[in-house]
Amino acid sequence: RDDRGDRARATRLVRELASADRIVGIVYAGPAEGLPGAEGALTRAGIPAIVCYGDLYGARLLTPHVFQASPSYVWEARRIASYLLRDRRYVRVGALVRDGMPGRVAATQIRRALRERGGRLASVQTYPEDQEDLRGRLLALKRARVEAIAVEGSPPGAARIMAGLRRMHATYRSTAMARIASAQSRAQARRHARRWRPQVVGFDLLIAPNAVRARMAGSVASDTYARGAHYLPVPSFRRFLTAFRGWWDSAPLGWERRAYEAVRMIGWAARQAREGEDLALVLEGMRGERLGGLDVTFGPDDHTSVDQTTVGLWVVPRRGAGAAEA
């Protein structure tokens, strides 16, 4: 079913699927905020829906029949804040997030994570998902003299942000050139403020693994290390890679692993269940299963498949860096 990016349409389609015969679960890749409204239909059908993108956990919108295969913005924001404040030692951080629920959650969590580490969010700018020209938002961040921009958005949105920075001659070059408030001297701070080359650090959807461009070098995204399923020598990753290549005759360079795992979660619950048993309740009994990525454990109060300790940062290497995953 294609929800066409429409939240109300997505809710309706999930309800239709839940009421259909022989459906044992739903892999959901639509607008995250469209899923909680279908809880009633999922309850009546006794089946789970697994969201692959977005953060219903951080929005406190997970329901008894909704599970999450993506990392939470809560954990991602902590990694981002630690990197910006403790590793890079930036002083002024801005945020550029989409209008809507995901953007609000991202802004709330990055603000909280920075504050917990002694920092603060200097400026927050929001933009519509379909807006092509983001120059006005970027200029506002420049006036706020931010040294890094925490971005929440989709890969097309990231491409527009990078294009906007490039047109402003503000493409990131190095930490030293990004420094303004954290510069060693006032003269250096003034010089860098005029040239403004902030570092871009985003949540997990910012950098599409199969759509990285050279102009994104130095950009950072948070995600689990299962993102490296196409090359890391982890046995479960290798099994997934072999299965994926055998079926599609290509490497899994996008987020296919999340959907693959979601299908296997539903299959596991269906095999374990007795006749007429609620499959969401069965799925809550999963403990340490390897389905293609990392261990998955659920419980009555834990509907997220990602362990926060597996969330870290990925960086786009500069050209010629020789990184295996480039």
Q: Which tens digits make up the pLDDT trace of 204-250?
A: 988 876 666 667 889 999 999 888 888 888 888 898 899 889 988 98
Q: Distance of CA 247 to CAs 7, 25, 193, 210, 227, Å?
A: 31, 22, 51, 18, 20
- Below-50 pLDDT ranges, the chain: none
Please tell me the predicted confidence (pLDDT) of residue 47: 98
Give the angle subtended at the CA of 188 by the CAs of 185 and 189, to the nearest 5°. Answer: 85
Compute the distance between CA of residue 92 and CA of residue 311 in angstroms, rounded to an integer. 24
Please tell me the predicted confidence (pLDDT) of residue 211: 65
The pLDDT tens digits for 158-193 are 889 999 999 999 999 999 999 999 999 999 989 898
Task: Please state whether beta strands 199-202 and 148-152 pair in parallel, antiparallel, or not at all (unpaired).
Answer: parallel
Residue whose C-alpha is closest to residue 239's, from 265, 257, 266? 257
Please tell me the predicted confidence (pLDDT) of residue 137: 97
H-helix or E-strand spanning residue 247? helix 235-248
- Can you read off the two tokens belonging to residue 209? 């693994």
For residue 151, the SS3 value is: strand
Please tell me the predicted confidence (pLDDT) of residue 183: 93
Please tell me the predicted confidence (pLDDT) of residue 44: 97
- Can you read off the two tokens belonging to residue 265? 């979660």
For residue 56, the SS3 value is: coil
Instruction: Specify whether the CB–CB gap between 138 and 165 falls below 8 A.
Output: yes
Please tell me the predicted confidence (pLDDT) of residue 227: 87
